[in-house]
Structure 1
Amino acid sequence: MKGEMMRSISKCQDGSSGSVILLATASALAIIALAAPASAQNRSAAANANEGEIIVTAQRREQRLSDVPLSVSAVTATDIARRGLVSQGDYLRSLPGVNQIEAGAANSSIIIRGVAASPQNTDRGAKATVGYYLNDIPLTGYVLRGGADVKLVDLERVEVIRGPQGTLFGSGSLGGTVRNIARAPNPERLEGHLRGTISQTGRAGSDNEAVEAVVNVPIIENKVALRAVGYLFENSGFVDNVAASTPAAVARANLYGIPELARNDKGVGRDRYIGGRIALLAKPTEDLKGTITYLRQDITQHGLPDAEPAIGKFRQARLGLSDNVGGGSERLEDVLKILNATLDYSFDWGALTSSSSLVKETYLEKREIGTFFANQPPVAQRNVADTEAFIQELRFASKFAGPFQLLTGLYYENIDRDFLNQNLFGGRTNLALSGFPSATITNNFEKNSVTQKAVFGEASLELSQFKLTVGARHFDYDDRTITTNRVSGAVTRLSGSNSGTTYKANMSWQPKQDLLLYGQFSQGFRLGSPVAPAIATCDRDGNGVIDGTTISAGPRTLDPDKLESFEAGAKFTTAGGALTVNAAAYHNKWKGVPINVIVPCGANVADNAGEARTQGIEFSAEARPARGLQLSFSAAYTDAELSKDAPRINGLKGDRLPGSPRYTAFLGVGYEFELGGRKSFVRADYSWIGGFFNNLKQTGIEAGDYSIIGARIGTRFGPLGVEAFVSNLTNSAKPTWVDSTFTGPIQRLYRLRPRTIGLTGQFSF
């Protein structure tokens, strides 16, 4: 196991990719050398902050969390450790105004403030509405649905910024932005840890294990350091495939001459995450710092972990895959590779940062989709997405002595993606019963290239207790797509381009250090994209409109959508930080909403559906009433609905947007103490998620409406630590999401992981 992990970590990018990064880095360094004085003193906000204060970079410069005039939550390294956080779902649902949809590994979508219309079908037509980052590296929009969930190993913090962030973070941050901030190499000390976890999941689950290792090595004291991270997470599945024990599935397999594909399988959805990160820091002077980081994460999931409620809470009756897609059971694989070079130069009146990133992600999904059709023929589907992206950002943040400050930058990205979708008949006999003329139902290949350029900036003026910030981002993009129908041989060339500007204005009033009031207008946007013509079976009467809809069957363009937000908020902190209270109210106007819909012919079609509005209230508080005792509470109300009729998708004004509960709440209690002279802690967390649906009409099975409780206790013996934990203490089996891609007679849904109990041991140095 360890050898396999180290082999994965040791893999590196090809030489040509590295040359691109190094060339961009060298160019940025030359700009820095020409633009800045040779010596300066870097005085960061972190250096001046009181001990225990949280420093964030939500506005692309270091600030105390309590001084940021935005609705921001920070999940610190201590929070990650004390709560045992590993994945997005472990913490996002505990934050006010945030929900997370997880349809298996590498298929997660984040919803903030109700801004979602097709949460399970992001990045194909209707793109993600929340920006997801590792440091300055965007990680959304690369594969079929959602994106890879980078594990929370050796992070400094996670920042969750609510509200549109179109000015500083660009396309995709309509609802907000989630940023994973990794720990930087430390040139001052040797440190690290080895952490291992074993646990057991109840019901249909079994054993789980995890190993993570971190080492930080100063190579040249105070100048050069290397930090390496490796991890392995193996999680049992908790859904049983009972196809061989289900008469309907056996009869279906026999009808099409494939009786051997009706078989049972325990623990469907078991997955393995194996990955690592290595970072080299060079700090030749106090003012100049460069970091090169490489990350790789491989995900393998055996089976898709959805249950069919008609046959049991944790059961499915899924036929195996035919030989024409490689045989075996349903499967998912995702490989993410990142190479980044960052340069920071600080001088008396500002700081210049260059971030150059190369991201490669490959996604493979094989699944059996025959139950989508009325006569349920065996159909094997194979989806492959292969993406390479280059991102370059260069920005300047001032440190002027006066009341005026400036942040400005340039942004460039190029994304090349190949996407293959195959639907193949999986039976041996009675082919005519399937209604398809040949074994190949569809075989479509898409080659897509998107180039985006942007210039952005924010200027602020601070007068006495007031601060005014205005910002804008201008972007333009070109989208080129070639689609090839490998059945008919038809080739379609599509192109689209557009440009636009988003704006922001923020006014804050800070009469004293522990009180901040603010009001803000901000905008967010998503890029549009060309849309290929519908397949012939979707327009059987040949009138140019998809049957049963008013959507054009020909090639067209999905327009960019834009969101405008009005927000007011307050932040209060008592002296010494014994009590912190944050509150915000907002109203969003969302225009040109693109929604993925399943049309009568079975195709997934994206269309600009119309207008929506989301509004709500968020509240969070943290108290430290006694030494070692920490109390956390948050709650949110979210009201998200169409604001106009959307006849193309049969939507009416007042229809609720899918994926967002009206109410959420969280309560956490932590206590640190000494037990026999040893540092110890106990922690308990309670989250409640209200009910929601996967469609505008609020029909079918309701997801959410569940409570989840977790607890953890631990103590240390010098460099050794041991912890015991339980998650989903009450063993709730409520659905977290109802599959929206399968609307046929057999419904699929995803449930909470059953009660899991485990032990963690750690050695630190």
Structure 2
Amino acid sequence: MKRYSKKLIALAIAANVAPAALQAQEAGSNATQLEEITVTASRRSESIQEIPYNITAVTGEDLQNVGADDLTKMSQFIPGMQMIDAGARSTGLVTLRGMNVGGLQASENQGGKDIISRYVNDTPLLIDFKLVDIERVEVLRGPQGTLYGRGAMGGTLRYILNKPTTEAVEGSVSTEFYRNSESDGVSTEMSGVFNLPLSDTLALRVSGTRVDDAGFVDYENVLVEPGVSNAERTIKDANTEETNSVRAALRWEPNDTFFAQASYYVQDQAAGGRQAVNPEFTGGDFSSALRYEEVRENRDDLFNLEVGLNTELVEIFSTTSIAEYEGTGNRDQTDLLCVDIWPGYCDFPEFSGYTVDDNNSESLVHETRFLSTEANSPDWLDWIAGVYYEETDTLLDAREYTPGYQDWAGIDTGYGELEYWRFADSTFEERALFGEATFHASEQLQMTLGARYFEQEETFAYDCNLLPVYWYWTRDAVEPECVSGSGEIDDTVFKFNAAYDVTADVMLYATVAEGFRRGGTNAGPQLLDSERTFGSDRALNYELGWHTTLADGAVIFNGAIFRIDWTDLQVPTKSQEAAINITKNASEGQIDGIELSTQAAVTDNLTLSGWVTYYDHALNGDAPEIDGFDGDAFPGVPNLQANIAFDYFIPVPTGELTLRGNAYFKDEVQSRLNSLGDNFDNETLDAYRVFNLSADYRLDQWRASLFLDNATNEYYFSGVRSAKRYGERGQFYYVGQPRTMGVNFSYEF
């Protein structure tokens, strides 16, 4: 930590601030105060400064102010969040507090299950949600297992949507045009919101958006006739995106004690190639050497019903959701097959390989919570209790083809050009009971105990695999190999939290919390007995933190120091015989960190904000079976990360003008475990800095914004697929978006 001590202190002092989006407001006196944000992370409405967690909340207006319409840019304003910007084609890997041990290949075999949970209102849903008509986003760092369950070992990300209101007819329309320095076309984004009171107790709210991104990565070596010739063509700006999303919500609130709300959300996305480049092979900074275009289509449907009842005895909240996902796409597998699977494939001069992946899932999620009320609970006790149920059915159909190879080799497997096939039908089911009790020992001291008991079961109705070419040479018959089975587990996670109000404006807290991630089954041909399953992993978080409000509300300074002990880490690797993607367990890991965030209303016109994090992370003990050794740094996790931002209001004769900017820094990272060993598959990705600027002009209900993202045109990578398994042509780097200039116009009514 010596290398960064001076830099860390300097940044902490300079950044008397947090997300620049927070607006200053006039108090009754001439003092300038920061806006107070109310959150529901504890399942109760509380000021963010009063909740004893390390939490960040960003309002929908804040997101609009900084132009963050998805996770990529929003992550710059969230302390401790790392994200691989893989473009629209992949669900980018998102981590908190450095809890990642998989490689930096976005959604391709990250190992195990989700490390953080993502919620749309109260429904867990893994989706890169378009941030339109958002009330706020809440980010909770560290294990949140008691209230948020199995996917919250590293933290929880919550999208809170705006509710329909009977108060007025209101809405907004917005259109945006932007272009980056490497694109040949102009990109557009349009969105709209409409709220309609249908009666004094019933309201409808509809919102939608369309994104048409022109892309900026050129695929320069796409095959014209796969398996016939090696003639190639170029596809300019291949990493395009077309996303359409619509949400409709109907809310009935006949009185102050009851409400019911039904919502439907759909997001339909068509994505072009990867946001990935191979400059060492192509010679171009924004070009790819892959042979297939690698398009993908994703569709998410979510239906949700919420019911709330507030009585003098208890508050009851119930939510039921049905979520469906459909995704299909293809990937270039040529270099993996030639370099890593069997070099003999490349004896065929026109050899190439690609996959077609078809993924479908349906989920039913239900949760009912009971909260204590002031009228029915003693002054010294608050409590919450609930039940949770989830059932998810997943269907996977993954096929790999090698056009022309079997004809060239003079073989007939009976399956045409199919080289590999996996077809699996699985069901995951979870039942859980959870609760927390907060004891108010005095007006200053409170203590919270929480626990969650859960039962989980995963069942494979069938999991079929086929290797037609390989089995043609090694077996008497080429037929699918199918297995079925199930596994189950029950366990309990706990949490203890204590908070002490030193003064009305200074709170200290301490937390000890457990996180849990279920194990699972590896599927594929020719697996060894030791490779067929992987165990669950656990995290134990020790944390000391503080929330302080200073200078009569003009300055906020929050922070935390923590240690996470992580056991039986789930790590992606390859099977020994057939090089199939599987997951195995490493021994132990440890993360020590400090997180600081501050914000300051310096004057009536100037608001500063910023944060800094420092993480020291490594494996404890050797894990040679997954190429990990004692002291290896976790992939993708920087030691130092920081963001500094400002909002500056300039008085003008008509309307309001605000200048905004931020500077984001991310330290260098390793791409894989074995950063200290001899695994040449690991690479060091350089540190980078991104500067964003904008000017925002408002006149009554009209608004116009001019923005410049990545103003210095920084060239940087956030992820990598290394050359060890894929060769010089098959490797690539996920590249950050180059300098982008745009304008946004909106109207509110």
TM-score computed with the length of structure 1 as normaliser: 0.85
Tell me the distance in 2 between the aligned counterparts of 1:434 and 1:382: 23
**Alignment equivalent of 1:557, drawn from 505, 526, 533:** 533
| C-alpha contact 1:642 1:652 (8 A) present in aligned 2 | yes
Which residue of structure 2 aligns with residue 8 of structure 1? Answer: none
The structural deviation recorded for 1:396 is: 1.0
Tell me the distance in 2 between the aligned counterparts of 1:521 and 1:271: 43
Match status 1:421 vs 2:421: no
Match status 1:227 vs 2:205: yes
Match status 1:394 vs 2:368: yes
Match status 1:339 vs 2:323: no
Gap change, CA 1:449 and 1:103, over 3 Å in 2: same
Tell me the distance in 1 between the aligned counterparts of 2:503 and 2:217: 55
Which residue of structure 2 aligns with residue 385 of structure 1? Answer: 359
AA in 2 matched with 1:516: M
Tell me the distance in 2 between the aligned counterparts of 1:116 and 1:53: 33
The structural deviation recorded for 1:316 is: 1.2
CA deviation string 1:734-760 (max 9, x = no partner): 111113698321311111111110111
CA deviation string 1:347-392 (max 9, x = no partner): 2343110000000011112111101222453011111110000000
Gap change, CA 1:451 and 1:85, over 3 Å in 2: same
Tell me the distance in 2 between the aligned counterparts of 1:640 and 1:130: 18
CA deviation string 1:679-733 (max 9, x = no partner): 2211101110111122002354433511111111111222211110010101111
| C-alpha contact 2:449 2:497 (8 A) present in aligned 1 | yes
Tell me the distance in 2 between the aligned counterparts of 1:684 and 1:200: 19
Tell me the distance in 2 between the aligned counterparts of 1:295 and 1:703: 37
AA in 1 matched with 2:421: N
| C-alpha contact 1:268 1:303 (8 A) present in aligned 2 | yes
**Alignment equivalent of 1:510, drawn from 490, 495, 501:** 501
Which residue of structure 1 aligns with residue 9 of structure 2? Answer: none
Which residue of structure 2 aligns with residue 368 of structure 1? Answer: 332
The structural deviation recorded for 1:598 is: 3.2
Which residue of structure 2 aligns with residue 316 of structure 1? Answer: 288
AA in 1 matched with 2:738: P
| C-alpha contact 2:613 2:640 (8 A) present in aligned 1 | yes
Match status 1:748 vs 2:727: no
CA deviation string 1:73-100 (max 9, x = no partner): 1111231121011110111133221101
The structural deviation recorded for 1:102 is: 2.8
The structural deviation recorded for 1:234 is: 1.2
The structural deviation recorded for 1:204 is: 4.0
Which residue of structure 2 aligns with residue 143 of structure 1? Answer: none
The structural deviation recorded for 1:418 is: 0.1
Match status 1:594 vs 2:570: yes
Identity %: 27
Which residue of structure 1 aligns with residue 264 of structure 2? Answer: 294
Tell me the distance in 2 between the aligned counterparts of 1:258 and 1:451: 49
Which residue of structure 2 aligns with residue 28 of structure 1? Answer: none
What is the RMSD computed on CA atoms of the aligned residues?
2.2
Gap change, CA 1:655 and 1:524, over 3 Å in 2: same
Which residue of structure 2 aligns with residue 132 of structure 1? Answer: 118
The structural deviation recorded for 1:434 is: 12
Tell me the distance in 1 between the aligned counterparts of 2:424 and 2:410: 30
The structural deviation recorded for 1:494 is: 2.1
Tell me the distance in 2 between the aligned counterparts of 1:632 and 1:286: 38
Match status 1:461 vs 2:439: yes
Which residue of structure 1 aligns with residue 419 of structure 2? Answer: 441
SS at match of 1:58: coil
Gap change, CA 1:436 and 1:187, over 3 Å in 2: same
The structural deviation recorded for 1:440 is: 1.7
Which residue of structure 2 aligns with residue 195 of structure 1? Answer: 174
Which residue of structure 1 aligns with residue 746 of structure 2? Answer: 762
Match status 1:531 vs 2:522: yes
CA deviation string 1:616-660 (max 9, x = no partner): 000000000111321001000012211121121121111111121
Tell me the distance in 2 between the aligned counterparts of 1:228 and 1:334: 22
AA in 2 matched with 1:560: S
| C-alpha contact 1:598 1:741 (8 A) present in aligned 2 | no
Tell me the distance in 2 between the aligned counterparts of 1:233 and 1:603: 36
Which residue of structure 1 aligns with residue 685 of structure 2? Answer: 703
Tell me the distance in 2 between the aligned counterparts of 1:57 and 1:745: 49
Which residue of structure 2 aligns with residue 355 of structure 1? Answer: 319
| C-alpha contact 1:739 1:749 (8 A) present in aligned 2 | yes
Tell me the distance in 2 between the aligned counterparts of 1:356 and 1:615: 38
- Which structure exhibits the higher relative contact order, with contacts defined as CA atoms closer than 8 Å and separated by 6 or more residues? 2
**Alignment equivalent of 1:307, drawn from 277, 286, 290:** 277
Which residue of structure 2 aligns with residue 270 of structure 1? Answer: 240
Which residue of structure 1 aligns with residue 646 of structure 2? Answer: 669
The runs of 5 or more residues in structure 2 that have no matched partner are: 1-32, 469-478
The structural deviation recorded for 1:424 is: 0.9
| C-alpha contact 1:258 1:427 (8 A) present in aligned 2 | no
AA in 2 matched with 1:535: P
Tell me the distance in 1 between the aligned counterparts of 2:240 and 2:403: 24
SS at match of 2:276: coil
Match status 1:639 vs 2:616: yes
Match status 1:739 vs 2:713: no
Gap change, CA 1:343 and 1:673, over 3 Å in 2: farther
Tell me the distance in 2 between the aligned counterparts of 1:183 and 1:604: 41
SS at match of 2:112: coil
The runs of 5 or more residues in structure 1 that have no matched partner are: 1-49, 141-147, 321-328, 539-543, 546-551
Gap change, CA 1:344 and 1:741, over 3 Å in 2: farther
| C-alpha contact 2:109 2:572 (8 A) present in aligned 1 | no
CA deviation string 1:270-303 (max 9, x = no partner): 1111111111110011110111110000111112
Which residue of structure 2 aligns with residue 165 of structure 1? Answer: 144
Tell me the distance in 1 between the aligned counterparts of 2:411 and 2:548: 64
| C-alpha contact 1:494 1:531 (8 A) present in aligned 2 | no
| C-alpha contact 1:198 1:208 (8 A) present in aligned 2 | yes
Gap change, CA 1:742 and 1:210, over 3 Å in 2: farther
| C-alpha contact 2:109 2:581 (8 A) present in aligned 1 | no
Match status 1:452 vs 2:442: no
The structural deviation recorded for 1:511 is: 2.3
Which residue of structure 1 aligns with residue 220 of structure 2? Answer: 242
Gap change, CA 1:259 and 1:445, over 3 Å in 2: same
Which residue of structure 2 aligns with residue 37 of structure 1? Answer: none
The structural deviation recorded for 1:496 is: 0.5
Tell me the distance in 2 between the aligned counterparts of 1:654 and 1:693: 13
SS at match of 2:335: helix
| C-alpha contact 2:318 2:369 (8 A) present in aligned 1 | yes
SS at match of 2:325: strand
| C-alpha contact 1:118 1:126 (8 A) present in aligned 2 | no
Gap change, CA 1:740 and 1:229, over 3 Å in 2: farther
SS at match of 1:745: helix
Tell me the distance in 2 between the aligned counterparts of 1:565 and 1:124: 22
Tell me the distance in 1 between the aligned counterparts of 2:686 and 2:250: 43
Match status 1:728 vs 2:728: no
Runs ≥4 in structure 1, deviation > 6 angstroms? 433-438
The structural deviation recorded for 1:436 is: 9.5
**Alignment equivalent of 2:131, drawn from 144, 152, 158:** 152
| C-alpha contact 2:84 2:734 (8 A) present in aligned 1 | no
| C-alpha contact 2:326 2:360 (8 A) present in aligned 1 | yes
| C-alpha contact 2:163 2:249 (8 A) present in aligned 1 | yes
| C-alpha contact 2:183 2:214 (8 A) present in aligned 1 | no
The structural deviation recorded for 1:268 is: 1.2
